[in-house]
Amino acid sequence: MRYVLEVMYDGTKFHGSQVQGDTPTVQLELNNALSTLFRTPIQTVGASRTDEGVHALCNYYHFDREEELNIDLRYKGNAILPDGIAIKRVCIATNPEFNSRFDAIRRQYRYRIYAKKDPFLVNRALFYPFTLDRDALDNAAAIIMEYEQFESFSKRNAQSKTFNCKIHKSHWEQNGKELHYVVEANRFLRGMVRGLVATQLRVGRGTNTLDGFREIIEARDCTKAWFDVTGHGLYLENIIYPDGLLKEI
């Protein structure tokens, strides 16, 4: 049987989500917790890879078991996992060939920015105390919707077979005292969201133009874009699967 965990985590407590040997990562902690509970080695497969510092309100990991669960996995798993990770739901895949990564049809990210110093937002959002032209940001976000090729926003050595992404949402929104960028697509390239945010911020500050932003997209050259915004402002917010593929237990 293929079981699926929906988890959330504080990315600042881990060196990314994907297993990297003995380096503390989200996936390593999940594997260790499940192996302890079931007293047999368990290897999970993650839906989305997040970099060091990046948070997740929703990420999925699947694993296989021959036996049905006879424990409250959410309760017992959360008791073992470190404070930076929590299991939100336990599901069973209705298709035994379900893959948490390849069956996802959409992913949504949110990048949070604040302009006035706030100690309670440290490591939770990007402190960016600069004047921004909101109209310019909105127009840049709308331009992104016109394209499907995003090689300029993929970090080097990403090993992607294609740089095409179908963008379903791209907009800025005011959320209290924070400014958020929300983007949803069928897939994302390595470093893509941070590249989109950092490059749009240049437009918002007036150091680049909307025409210049278009030129960066069309250049298909990552050296033309900027990626210099911190990971801790970024949240993997949602992952969407086709209806009926997961059954909560």
Residue 246 and residue 239 in contact, taking contact as beta carbons nearer than 8 Å: no
C-alpha distances out from residue 40 to 4, 86, 104, Å: 17, 21, 28
What total number of domains does the chain contain? 2
Closest to 163 in 3D by CA, of 181, 138, 185: 185
Residue 121 and residue 96 share a domain: no
Over the chain (249 residues), the average pLDDT of each successive run of 10 is 97 94 95 96 96 97 91 96 97 96 97 97 97 98 98 81 96 97 97 98 98 98 96 97 96
**pLDDT for position 232:** 96
Domain boundary among 102, 122, 140: 102
C-alpha distances out from residue 224 to 90, 144, 180, 199, 212, Å: 43, 16, 23, 9, 10
Residue 144 and residue 124 share a domain: yes
**pLDDT for position 122:** 96
249 is a domain residue = no
pLDDT in tens, 112-137: 999 999 999 999 999 999 999 999 99
Pairing of the two strands 106-114 and 234-240: antiparallel
Domain boundary among 78, 102, 126: 102
Which CATH number covers residue 208?
A: 3.30.70.660
Which CATH number covers residue 38?
A: 3.30.70.580
- Which distant-in-sequence residues (6+ apart) come within 8 Å of 75 by Cβ? none
**pLDDT for position 159:** 65
Residue 127 and residue 56 share a domain: no
Domain boundary among 102, 118, 146: 102
248 is a domain residue = no
Report CA Rg, the chain.
19
**pLDDT for position 155:** 85
Neighbours of 219 (CB within 10 A): 13
Contacts 24+ apart (CB under 8 A), 165-172: 165/189, 165/192, 168/106, 169/108, 170/141, 170/142, 170/144, 170/145, 170/196, 171/138, 171/141, 171/142, 172/134, 172/137, 172/138, 172/141
From the list 10, 51, 83, 118, the catalytic residue is 51
- Which distant-in-sequence residues (6+ apart) come within 8 Å of 129 by Cβ? 115, 116, 117
**pLDDT for position 69:** 87
Full residue range of the structural domain in which residue 177 is found: 106-237
Q: Quick one: DSSP state of residue 68?
A: P
pLDDT in tens, 36-46: 999 999 999 99
242 is a domain residue = no
Q: Which helix (H) or strand (E) holds 36?
A: helix 26-38
Residue 129 and residue 13 share a domain: no
Q: Is residue 51 annotated as a catalytic residue, yes or no?
A: yes
DSSP E strands: which ranges in 53-177? 55-64, 85-93, 106-114, 126-127, 167-175
Residue 132 and residue 49 share a domain: no
Q: Residue type for 13, please?
A: K
Residue 98 and residue 6 share a domain: yes
31 is a domain residue = yes
